[in-house]
Amino acid sequence: MSMFCYQCQEAAGGKGCTGKGVCGKTQDVAKTQDLLIYITKGISIYSTKAREVGIVNKEVNNFIVESLFSTITNANFDNKALTERVKKGLKLRQEMKEQLIKAGIKVGSAENDNWLSKLLKFAGVKTKEEENLHEAATWFADNAEEFSKKAEKVGILSTENEDIRSLRELLIYGLKGMAAYLHHANNLGYDDDNSHAFMQKALVSTLNDNLSGDDLTAIVLECGKYGVDVMALLDKANTSTYGNPEITKVNIGVRNKPGILISGHDLKDLEELLKQTEGKGVDVYTHSEMLPAHYYPAFKKYTHFAGNYGNAWWKQDKEFESFNGPILMTTNCIVPPKNSYKDRMYTTVATGFDGVKHIPEGKNGKAKDFSQIIEQAKKCKPPVEIEKGEIVGGFAHNQVLALADKVVDAVKSGAIKRFFVMAGCDGRMKSRNYYTDFAKALPKDAVILTAGCAKYKYNKLDLGDIGGIPRVLDAGQCNDSYSLAVIALKLKEVFGLEDINELPISYNIAWYEQKAVIVLLALLHLGVKNIHLGPTLPAFLSPNVAKVLVENFGIGGITNVEDDLKMFMGEK
Ligand code: FSO
Ligand code: SF4
């Protein structure tokens, strides 16, 4: 059987990738990722039980988070590394089982009937004998050939009912997004075991054939609650460590020294890189989702933090070429690199690409060692200038709330008629030019609230300002969509409204990968209705599941700029 993947917006033909991923994912990588997800479910059977008796295994938490993260679109294309991860997972599963046995819970013995049958019920095991745990908890192999055979049996299509499959995958994609954000928070020393516990319980629930569509829908919606928690945790981690983002002008031109380009979302990696490059004669530039790092006060002290180079992730094959220096990918989105710059590219932690150098975690609590990147940078030419000027951002919740009086006055006076949340992701599809056209066509009294790489579709347009308030307010990375929710909740309070949906805010969100799924579920949890998703609705939503979302939450797609504008402005 060939691969099947439909987790992102670019799924082939709007249905799913089967030959090779549109993203560049190969058959082997897709299958190993499927197996890895299956192993995380198996480990979770044990770890969920262990939590009931007070055992929390942090290595397991970390492994599950990192594994889910490494299967996100455009994060890891390195089959060898993913295979090693599967092996490590099988080892950890065994350790987790032994931990339970040590705690007096003898797996398979009569004493365990009670917990085992409860657990089996939870895991929805189909076997007649209750002593048999779900295969995800027991299957074992130690070689790539067996891995590949097993992977073919446990992929997405192994769930036959399309609605159950849709809900299981929707849940897993939400968990992947959650894992990415939890991972960043963990890197800064912030953690939340309730989120790990939910993640693991939810993974087990996707093995349970006894759960109905309604049961799974409830778990999917509960995932939204944890999405809010995790984004709030990451917000706290980022702002407590680096200060609150503030209005900042970011240079998009270049200087004359060699540079290192850092992409992805991990601020801890950026901090380390800035520290290690200080006084070394090289500049550091951000790329794509790392742009908002410039808004944090803590990074402003680095005089070699030169600016932002390029645009959203999908243009990297050209921009990395002209950058001339090394590139560090801290997270997705990686585009399979061209040979012209492959030897200048580096991955770290959950990211990987076959033949691209990988920077491991530092040993014994030490920082990661970026010296080989710095040495390479010194020998490179400075970046070629591809644009000039500045862009403005830093409108996260604290900064916007500091301007609250001004914003509220502008709304009261009618100077601002409507806000458009246009957060999310950018992507290759031409149909995404809709978002540029939409931004241009908005009435002059409308303000765009954005976060994520979707902003690159309109953040270099001159859309002007309203009484000093820019018409594009960039809160930051995709996870900073949380900030937009905080702003909306504050406005609701200020205007004394009962319901967040009474605010003059429309949601026209561009989605691409699984972090957008957790952002969506989080917004639904906060009670936001009538969110429009584009450029296409997810291939993984079956018609029935899509219907539930439409009927209960008013989720919709997009059509064309003219009709959509009328619809959003209530003229249609
Ligand atoms: Fe973009 Fe990629 Fe941030 Fe995503 S760079 S597409 S939703 O990884 O995470 O917005
Ligand atoms: Fe296709 Fe997207 Fe899956 Fe890549 S991540 S294989 S593009 S559906």
Q: What domains, with CATH codes, occur in the chain?
A: 12-240 (1.20.1270.20), 248-378 (3.40.50.2030), 395-568 (3.40.50.2030)
Q: What is the pLDDT of residue 275?
A: 98
Cβ of 512 less than 6 Å from ligand 1: yes
44-69 burial string, b = 16+ CB within 10 Å, else e? bbbbbbbbeeebebeebbbbbbbbbb
5 lines ligand 2 (CB under 6 A): yes
**Of 538, 543, 537, which is closest to residue 556 (Cα–Cα)?**
537
Does 289 sit in the ligand 1 pocket, CB within 6 Å? yes
Whole-number pLDDT of residue 498: 95
Three-class secondary structure of residue 226 per DSSP: helix
Structure tokens at 376: 């390479």
Q: What is the mean pLDDT of residues 39-67?
A: 95
Q: Which residue in 247, 170, 164 sits closest to 518, CA to CA?
A: 170
Give the Cα separation of 107 and 97 in Å (integer).
8
Residue 333 assigned as binding residue? yes
- Secondary structure in 3-state letters for 478-506: HHHHHHHHHHHHHHHHHCCCCCHHHCCEE
Tell me what the mean pLDDT of segment 507-536 comes to. Answer: 97
When pLDDT is averaged across residues 354-382 and rounded to a whole number, the result is: 97
Indicate if the pLDDT at residue 320 is higher than 90. Answer: yes
426 CA distance to ligand 2 middle (Å): 15
Q: Is 6 in the pocket of ligand 2 (CB under 6 A)?
A: yes
What single-letter amino acid sits at 243?
G
Q: How far apart are CA 39 and CA 37, in angstroms?
A: 5
Query: Which residues touch 496 (CB under 8 Å, ≥6 apart)?
Result: none
In 148-294, DSSP assigns E strands to 248-251, 259-263, 283-286
Ligand 2: residue of 2, 3, 8 to mutate (most ligand atoms within 8 A of CB) is 8
Cα 455 to ligand 1 centre (Å):
11
Is 223 annotated as ligand-binding? no
183-212 tens-digit pLDDT: 999 999 999 999 999 999 999 999 999 999
Closest ligand 1 atom to Cα of 516 = 7
Per-residue pLDDT reduced to its tens digit, 106-159:
554 444 445 555 555 556 544 333 356 899 999 999 999 999 999 999 999 999
Closest C-alpha among 212, 195, 211, 226 to residue 122: 211
Is the beta carbon of 516 within 6 A of some atom in ligand 1? yes
Distance 21 CA to ligand 2 centre (A): 5
Helix (H, G, I), strand (E, B) or coil at 444: coil
pLDDT of residue 108: 46
Task: Tell me the CA–centroid distance for residue 14 and ligand 2, in Å.
Answer: 10
pLDDT exceeds cutoff 70 at 75: yes
DSSP state of 556: B
CA of 264 to the centre of ligand 2 (A): 18
Average pLDDT of span 19-23: 96
- Is 382 buried (19+), middle (13-18) or exposed (0-12) by CB count in 10 A? middle
The closest alpha carbon to 266, from 422, 69, 424, 61, belongs to: 69
Mean pLDDT of all residues in the chain?
Answer: 94
Measured in Å, residue 333 CA sits from the centre of ligand 1 at 6
Binding site membership of 156 for ligand 2 (Cβ less than 6 Å): no
Helices (H) and strands (E) in the chain, counts: 20, 15
* Proximal ligand: closest to the CA of 315: 1
Dist CA 37 CA 96 (whole Å): 17
pLDDT of 113 reads 45
Strands 446-450 and 472-474, bridge-based pairing: parallel
Q: How far is the CA of 130 from the centre of ligand 1 (A)?
A: 43
Burial of 414: CB neighbours in 10 Å, binned 0-12, 13-18, 19+: exposed
CB-based contacts of 208: which residues, under 8 Å, 6+ apart? 122, 123, 124
DSSP three-state, residue 178: helix
Its pTM surpasses 0.85: yes
Closest to 63 in 3D by CA, of 45, 36, 83: 36
DSSP 366: P
Q: Cβ(298)–Cβ(242) under 8 Å?
A: yes
Handedness of CA 85, 331, 5, 195 (dihedral sign): positive
The Cα–Cα gap between 443 and 466 comes to 12
Which positions ≥6 away from 70 have C-beta within 8 Å? 33, 36, 76, 81, 82, 85, 350, 351, 352
Mean pLDDT of 533-537: 97
pLDDT of amino acid 110: 41
Torsion, Cα of 52, 56, 61, 64 (10° steps): -40
| CA 345 to chain centroid | 21
The total of other beta-carbon atoms located within 10 Å of residue 229's CB is 19
Mean pLDDT of 408-429: 96
C-alpha 301/C-alpha 183 separation (Å) is 26
Ligand nearest to the CA of 457: 1
- Tens digit of each residue's pLDDT (9 = 90 or more) over 227-258: 999 999 999 999 999 999 999 999 999 999 99
Task: Quickly list H helices, 420-542.
Answer: 433-441, 481-494, 514-525
Percent with pLDDT over 90 in the chain:
92
User: Is 80 exceeded by the pLDDT of residue 486?
Assistant: yes
Q: What is the pLDDT of residue 109?
A: 42
C-alpha 372/C-alpha 356 separation (Å) is 13
| Shortest-distance atom of ligand 1 to CA 511 | 7
The predicted pLDDT at position 130 comes to 38
